[in-house]
Copies of this chain bind each other. A is one copy, B any other.
Amino acid sequence: MIDKGFASIDQAVADIFDGASVMVGGFGTAGMPDELIDALIARNVGELTIISNNAGNGETGLAALIKAGRVRKVICSFPRQADSHHFDARYRAGEIELELVPQGNLAARIQAAGAGLGAIFTPTGFGTLLAEGKETRRIDGKDYVLEYPIHADFALIKAQRADRWGNLVYRKTARNFGPIMAMAAKTAIAQVAEIVPLGSLDPEAIVTPGIFVQRVVQVAPGAAH
* 8 Å CB contact of A121 from B119, B123, B142: B119
Chain B residues with CB under 8 Å of A139's CB are 118-119, 148
Chain B residues with CB under 8 Å of A108's CB are 115, 117
Chain B residues with CB under 8 Å of A120's CB are 112, 117, 119-121
Digit string of A123-152 for contact with B (CB within 8 Å is 1, else 0)?
100000000000001011010100010000
A119-B121, A121-B120, A123-B116 in contact; A204/B169 too (CB < 8 A)? yes
List 12 additional contacts besides A108-B115, A118-B144, A120-B120; criterion CB under 8 Å.
Answer: A108-B117, A112-B120, A116-B123, A117-B120, A117-B122, A118-B123, A118-B139, A118-B140, A119-B120, A119-B121, A119-B137, A171-B204
Which 6 A-B pairs give the minimum distances between C-beta atoms? A118-B121, A118-B144, A205-B205, A118-B139, A119-B121, A120-B120
Which of A115, A172, A204: most chain B CB closer than 10 A? A204
Chain B residues with CB under 8 Å of A122's CB are 116-118
Nearest residue (CB) in B for A203 is B172
